[in-house]
Each structure stands twice: as C-alpha cells, then as structure tokens.
Structure 1
Amino acid sequence: MNQSRFSVVERVVDVAWEADCLYPMICAAFDGFEPCASSQPAALSYRIVSESGDACFSLVRNGAVINRGLDASQLLFALQQDIVVGIQCLRPDLVFVHAAVVQRGGRAFVLAAPSGSGKSTLCWAMLHHGFRLMSDELAPVDPATLRIKPFPLAVTLKARPPYCCPLPASTLTTHRSHYVPIDALPSAPATESAPIGAILFVDYASSHSVPALRKLSAAEAASRLYPNVLNALAHHSMGLDDVIRMTGSVPCWYLASAALEETAQEVTGLLCAF
C-alpha cells in the first residue's frame, strides 16, 4: 500500500492507494505540502480503491465511498476538489478566496478571477519573474491578521502556455489538465504565511491587444472580491466585513491581460514598484 501524509493549513491529510500507476500523479499534485510524520489521526483520510485493474477507481473518504467509476484523471481532480472543500469545513476561521497567490519580498499578491480567466497561466508566468508560488487555486486568509497561508497544490493549467513559459519535461499531462510538479517550479514555493501586498483582478480576453491596469477603489475591489469568497456563510456578516477589510488595507487593480510575457512584465513592474 502506497501512502502520502501531509499537512494542509495545519490539518493532517492522508492518502493511501494500491495502484502503482497513481504514484507519480499523487506526488505531482501534493508534494508541495509539508510532509507529516505525526501519528495523530488524519482529519481527512482517503483511500483509493482499484475497481478494474488500474483503469477505474473509487475514492473513499473517512471510510465512506464518495466517488466511483473514475479514471485516473477524474480521480485526481475529484481528490483535489474534495480536499479543497474539506479543508474549508475544517478551518471555518479562515476566509477562503478562489485565487492564485504568488509571493515576493515577504508579501503575498492575490490573482483573483473566475475559472477560465487565465489566473493559473499568469501565476505560472509570474514564477518565471522572481515570484514564488503560494497557491494556484485557493487563498486561505486569516481575517484577524490578513495573512495568507500557503496552499501549494501543483500548478494546474488547462492548456499549454505560450513558448515564453514552457512546461518542464516532468509535467504530468492528463486529458483534463497539465500538472507542474512542485520540484519543477522555477523556484521553491513559499512555506510560510505572508501578509497581503496587493490584489489583482485578472480578466483575459482575446480582444486585449496589450495588458492594461486600472487602480480600483476599495468599494469596487470589494464588489469584485466578494464573489470569489468560497465560505462566506461561515463568517460574521457573511464575510462582507472581512472582504472590505482586505480591499481597504491594500492596493487593488483590475488587470486586462493580453500576451502572457507582456502581461507578466507589466505586473512584475507594478508589484516591484511599491
């Protein structure tokens, strides 16, 4: 039996599986999290059961089957998403924002956007410009301190990025996504929490010929950030007070992204200037 045991925002997650073909997938996805040698019971304990050789799997969480009939790609996606949701339930004290986060100079920079808006691709590009990965998917914010905790899942891209930021040879490719292993990143991921330095709202459209940045008021930024809060109902005033505090404490911009390299250079110049 193969096993991976790691810590996700101070909660133990355990994944066990028999099929050896899953080993590179599990490692690629979760090796960014801190390994956990503690013998304490896992808050989230998963077992992957082979249903038909190495082609079909069931996913079991804490003893209960939650998915059946999954191929390897579907399994990895289901496992990632279940951990994302499960951690939100285990840490209701944190505000979870759907966003990528990169770190530089001890500050966390939030790239917030709905799925399909290019935040993961921009995150990957920023890692080639001196930034370190904190998260490709989720920003766990401590509302008392406005510090973001790392959530270093593998950088996951739906499509291959442009030539300026090629995927490493060790990238795991499935029919759903490209997973960049943590050890293949341009620099080591951030392992400590960091205060929010700025928030950017990423909007990619093919009609954008050049990248453009627009400074936002705290009110407009709050209206854009609030829909990206995943566990608003777990917080006082449904999380609105926390969102207002975030956007009122740091500079916020709307980013109309365009060609990837030009956009990454524009954002790097902005974030390094203050």
Structure 2
Amino acid sequence: MSVKQRRFSVVDNAVAIVWGADYLSPMIAAAFGGFEPCASSQSADLAYRIVSEAGDGSFSLLRSGSVIDRGLDASQVLFALQQDIVVAVQRLRPDLVFVHSAVVQRGGRAFLLAAPSGSGKSTLCWALLHHGFRLMSDELAPLDPKTLRISPFLLAVTLKAPPPDCYPLPGSSIKTHRSHYIPVDVLPTVPANESAPIGAILFVDYASSHTAPALRKLAAAECAFRLYPNVLNALAHQSMGLDDVIQITNSVPCWYLASAALEATAKEVAGLFSAL
C-alpha cells in the first residue's frame, strides 16, 4: 500500500493530506479537487494523516501528529476531515468573517445563500449552476470585512439526498452513506477561483407547504438579525462581530426566500440575481 498525498491552498493556508488506502483516493480527489494546488516544498499550515487501523478497515484521522478521531469508516473520515479544515482555517484567518452559506458568482459579484443545515441551500446552489452561475462555495463564505470581498472555498458540492431529475447528479459523483459529492471538474459551469465583491444575501427557508417560491425584500435591521447566527467566528471580531454584520447588511440588498419546487425556485432566484 503506497503513500498518497494531496496538497492545496485554502484561503492562503497550505493544507496537506497523506493517506495509504487506495479506495480513499477518488473520494479525497472529489472533495478537495477544487482547491488550488500548492507546491510540495511549501510548509503545510494544516498537516493531516489518515491511518488505517488494523483488522477492521476503519481509520484514524490525525492533525500534526495528534489524533482528531478514530474508528471511522471512509465516509466518516472524509466528513471529519472537511469539518476540521473548516474550523482550523477560521483559527488561522481570524481577520475574515466566516459565514455559513453557499456562494455563487455571476457578473463578477458573489451572492450568498445563507441558511441552517438541512434548509436546501446546497441543492439550490447546485441548481443555480445550471442557470449560468459559477460555484464559489456550497458551505462557507470567507468574507473580508475591510473590502467586502468573498474568497472561494471550493469543496465539492455536497448533497445529503439526490436532487430532482431536472438537475441530475453527474455520473462521476461520489456517493457515501452520508452524502453525494459532486466534483468541481464536472460542474455545469467553471467554478470561480478568484475573490469577488458581495452582491446580495438571500436567506433560504424551505417551505414544503408552498406551491411556488416567495421572495421578500428585507430591511437592513432584519437582514442583520438573520445574518448574525450564520457567522461562525463572530467572537473573533470586535463587538462580537456585530459591527461587521451591520456593515455588511447596510452595504448590500437582502431577501428572504420561502423556497418550493426546486426548478421554479432556481429560476426565480436566477432572475433576481441576474437583474442585480
């Protein structure tokens, strides 16, 4: 069993992953293939090792030699790796505001789809890529509060369930018992690997009782109220992040979306963002 390695950059921090099991390779390539590679000579800010445990086919995940978790199957180790990178990068870049949000780009502007987990933001993000938008992230928006620019965070698009037939999964998607991973190299549009100024914020709320999507423009105060719980590292910023949130929501338009059928919702949102 040969040792494999992948090195890439996440918001200007070098990440290295080392593993041995061959069947992990396509999963790691699918999940992290969207990030820009970094030179093998560059020292890693985050150094991970996935170690096969004897006998039972499970794995341990280590960062800088310290065990993060053990007894993990392949899908669990991939999930744990993603989550640890998300948290560790926030510690390495406290100058940025990290928003729990999908981000798509069009016309040089970045549009945030903010929502709690399970609200359908990743599925809506996947649908919008079929309407001319480019992926920046389906999970995390690293935002510079000084410039109001968002950096890409190009993990694979990760869906908990298959999308409707109108936006089918590519054949090369990776399925685990947790999620479906859509590699960035098979997306309908080329992903955006450069930063972009924020253009608008959309708060997504899946409403199963709705037969059609409904949009409502938000005042800056309500937008700030809704955005603040989605800021993951608010305590790293002055005034517990409130000053940054107020600045952001006073600078860009915001809407609340009660989503419905995916195709109708995607067309409604695409029309809104395109008009901006």
The normalised TM-score by structure 2 is 0.98
Matched with 1:238 is 240
Amino acid at match of 1:37: A
Amino acid at match of 2:83: Q
Q: What are the within-5 Å matches in structure 2 for residues 1-274 of structure 1?
A: 1-52=3-54, 55-274=57-276
Tell me if the contact between 1:19 and 1:54 (Cα under 8 Å) persists in the aligned partners. no
Q: Secondary structure at the match of 2:188?
A: coil
CA distance in 1, matches of 2:246, 2:169: 37
Amino acid at match of 2:195: S
CA distance in 2, matches of 1:64, 1:53: 22
Amino acid at match of 1:65: V
* 1:168-227 residue CA offsets vs partner (Å, 9 max, x unmatched): 000100000000011111111101000000000000021111001000000000000000
Amino acid at match of 1:194: A
Q: Secondary structure at the match of 1:186?
A: coil
Amino acid at match of 2:48: Y
How far did 1:52 drift? 3.2
CA distance in 1, matches of 2:235, 2:184: 32
Tell me if the contact between 1:103 and 1:109 (Cα under 8 Å) persists in the aligned partners. yes
* 1:85-108 residue CA offsets vs partner (Å, 9 max, x unmatched): 000000000000000000000000
CA distance in 2, matches of 1:45, 1:20: 19
Q: Secondary structure at the match of 1:73?
A: helix
CA distance in 1, matches of 2:185, 2:56: 26
Tell me if the contact between 1:21 and 1:54 (Cα under 8 Å) persists in the aligned partners. no
CA distance in 2, matches of 1:181, 1:152: 10
Amino acid at match of 1:223: F
How far did 1:38 drift? 4.8
CA distance in 1, matches of 2:42, 2:26: 26
Q: Secondary structure at the match of 2:275?
A: coil
Amino acid at match of 1:251: P
CA distance in 1, matches of 2:225, 2:247: 12
How far did 1:42 drift? 0.4
Amino acid at match of 2:9: S
* 1:36-59 residue CA offsets vs partner (Å, 9 max, x unmatched): 015121010000000036821000
How far did 1:133 drift? 0.3
CA distance in 2, matches of 1:15, 1:200: 34
CA distance in 2, matches of 1:33, 1:103: 16
Unmatched 5+ stretches in structure 1: none
The normalised TM-score by structure 1 is 0.99
CA distance in 1, matches of 2:118, 2:39: 37
* 1:24-71 residue CA offsets vs partner (Å, 9 max, x unmatched): 000000000000015121010000000036821000101111110000
**Does the C-alpha gap of structure 1 residues 139 and 54 become closer, same or farther in structure 2, counting only changes over 3 Å?**
farther
CA distance in 2, matches of 1:255, 1:15: 38
Amino acid at match of 1:162: P
Q: Secondary structure at the match of 2:222?
A: helix
How far did 1:128 drift? 0.4
